[in-house]
Amino acid sequence: MRKLLLVAICLLVLFCGCEKEAESTLDSADDKLIVVGFSQVGAESEWRVANTESIKATLTEENGYVLFYEDARQEQENQIRAIRTFIQQEVDYILFSPKVETGWDSILLEAKKANIPVIVTDRYIESDVEGLFTAYIGSNFYSEGETAVLWLEDFLKKQSRTEEPVHIVHIQGTIGSTAQIGRTAALEQAVSKHPNWQLVAQQCGDFTRAKAYEVMGSILEDTKDIDVVYCENDGEALGAIAALEEAGLVCNPVDGVIVISFDATRLGLQYCLEQKIALNVECNPLQGPYVDEIIKKLERKEPIGRIRYVEETQFDCFTITQEMIDIRDY
Ligand code: GZL
């Protein structure tokens, strides 16, 4: 049956002209390969590219998989369509990183009805319906935000800036995504805790360099009295820094604007080394091995944890070195 199915799938891929990539050829397929359909948010950041590459580099034919990859280009509707196609293809597992937390009940109930296990990666889903997915692999985004605000608290205390107003610009990620929700909640909680912390602007940069540059530029037309810029990923930090420097502001925690970022991509860490980013909180995109471990356990009918957080750390501009950057995988 599975050989017949694979023939149908490969013929569908060959003729449907869609973006799915059959990561394997017909003649190499055999009954042991695990067929996985993967719907990715898009390619909006270096982080996302590294995340995609980790999944593709792990779910290979040599490792026992046929991988069908679909890039949703930032549209939830494209993810829903891709998941429905995977169901029709009767894949063994569905893997997806949900662009936003809500709006998945219907399609995931279709997957449940088809008895196809769903593994959620990176961002989480919010639903009142129980049992819509088998496992989640990703980050604790609130904890990432806490790491950032605790570092900022400590840094400002060392600078004796606990009384005077601290003007904070907040550039958020894609609204409604788990990464944005968690990182925003941590900052907003810290602002409510510190009477001298003032949120002077809060706008969406959509996790992209271009949007953050545009948003930071418009904020700078209103005020240049900025002490901290809290960016929810490296792409936004790079865009914001470009706008700040064009406006004549210095990005440096000692005598300029304190820029905080997330992801810790190699490019973001280079900015950290140059002290343009004061703190960079890692968000680990290398989730392929975690996915492989969970699927292989499920195949062996072994118990798995439903929620699996990936290991992460943080880097500050006072202790980071070029060697630390050079050994990074992304
Ligand atoms: C975080 C991920 C975010 C990254 C951004 O896990 O969802 O999306 O922080 C990416 O770089 O665009």
Does residue 45 lie within any of the structural domains?
A: yes
- Which of these, 220, 226, 175, lies nearest to 198 by C-alpha position? 226
Mean pLDDT of 288-300: 97
Query: Looking at the structure, do residues 151 and 278 belong to the same domain, yes or no?
Result: yes
Q: Is the pLDDT of residue 65 over 70?
A: yes
Query: Looking at the structure, do residues 290 and 267 belong to the same domain, yes or no?
Result: no
pLDDT digits (tens, 9 = 90+) for 82-132: 999 999 999 999 999 999 999 999 999 999 999 999 999 999 999 999 999
Query: Looking at the structure, do residues 122 and 167 belong to the same domain, yes or no?
Result: no
The whole-chain average pLDDT of the chain stands at 93
3-state secondary structure of 125: coil
Kindly write down the DSSP assignment for every residue of 215-274, as one continuous string: HHHHHHHH----SEEEESSHHHHHHHHHHHHHTT--B-TTTSBEEEEEE--HHHHHHHHT
Does residue 60 lie within any of the structural domains?
A: yes
Query: Looking at the structure, do residues 279 and 294 belong to the same domain, yes or no?
Result: no
Q: Is the pLDDT of residue 245 over 60?
A: yes
- Ligand 1 pocket residue status of 139, Cβ below 6 Å: yes
With the CA atoms of 257, 263, 264 and 265 taken in that order, what torsion angle do they form, in degrees rounded to the nearest 10?
-110
Residues 6+ apart with CB under 8 A from 199: 168, 170, 187, 188, 191
Ranking 7-16, 283-292, 296-305 by mean pLDDT, the lowest is 7-16
Mean pLDDT of 222-231: 98
- CA of 327 from ligand 1 middle (Å) equals 21
Does residue 308 lie within any of the structural domains?
A: no
- Ligand 1 pocket residue status of 263, Cβ below 6 Å: yes
- Which of these, 199, 179, 178, 201, lies nearest to 190 by C-alpha position? 199
β-bridge pairing 314-316 and 279-282: antiparallel
Does residue 263 lie within any of the structural domains?
A: yes
Query: Looking at the structure, do residues 32 and 126 belong to the same domain, yes or no?
Result: yes
Structural domain boundaries enclosing 80: 2-137+286-299
Query: Cα–Cα distance between 254 and 55 in angstroms, integer?
Result: 39
Q: Which atom of ligand 1 is nearest to the CA of 44?
A: 12
Cut 0.85: pTM above it: yes
- Ligand 1 pocket residue status of 262, Cβ below 6 Å: yes
Query: Looking at the structure, do residues 179 and 106 belong to the same domain, yes or no?
Result: no
pLDDT digits (tens, 9 = 90+) for 273-284: 999 999 999 999
Check residue 11 and give its pLDDT. Answer: 52
Query: Looking at the structure, do residues 268 and 178 belong to the same domain, yes or no?
Result: yes
Query: Looking at the structure, do residues 145 and 265 belong to the same domain, yes or no?
Result: yes
- CA of 265 from ligand 1 middle (Å) equals 11
Check residue 32 and give its pLDDT. Answer: 86
Q: Is the pLDDT of residue 18 over 50?
A: no
Does residue 307 lie within any of the structural domains?
A: no
Cα-based distances in Å from 227 to 197, 244, 251, 262, 302: 10, 11, 10, 18, 51
Query: Looking at the structure, do residues 120 and 210 belong to the same domain, yes or no?
Result: no
Does residue 311 lie within any of the structural domains?
A: no
Check residue 69 and give its pLDDT. Answer: 98
Q: Is the pLDDT of residue 25 over 80?
A: no
Query: Cα–Cα distance between 194 and 205 in angstroms, integer?
Result: 25
Does residue 119 lie within any of the structural domains?
A: yes
Query: Looking at the structure, do residues 234 and 87 belong to the same domain, yes or no?
Result: no
Does residue 164 lie within any of the structural domains?
A: yes
Mean pLDDT of 241-269: 98
Query: Looking at the structure, do residues 154 and 278 belong to the same domain, yes or no?
Result: yes
- CA of 161 from ligand 1 middle (Å) equals 31
The domain that holds 206 is classified in CATH as 3.40.50.2300
Query: Cα–Cα distance between 252 and 24 in angstroms, integer?
Result: 48
Number of structural domains the chain divides into: 2
CB 176, CB 185: distance < 8 Å = no
Query: Cα–Cα distance between 46 and 143 in angstroms, integer?
Result: 22
- CA of 113 from ligand 1 middle (Å) equals 30
Query: Looking at the structure, do residues 20 and 107 belong to the same domain, yes or no?
Result: yes
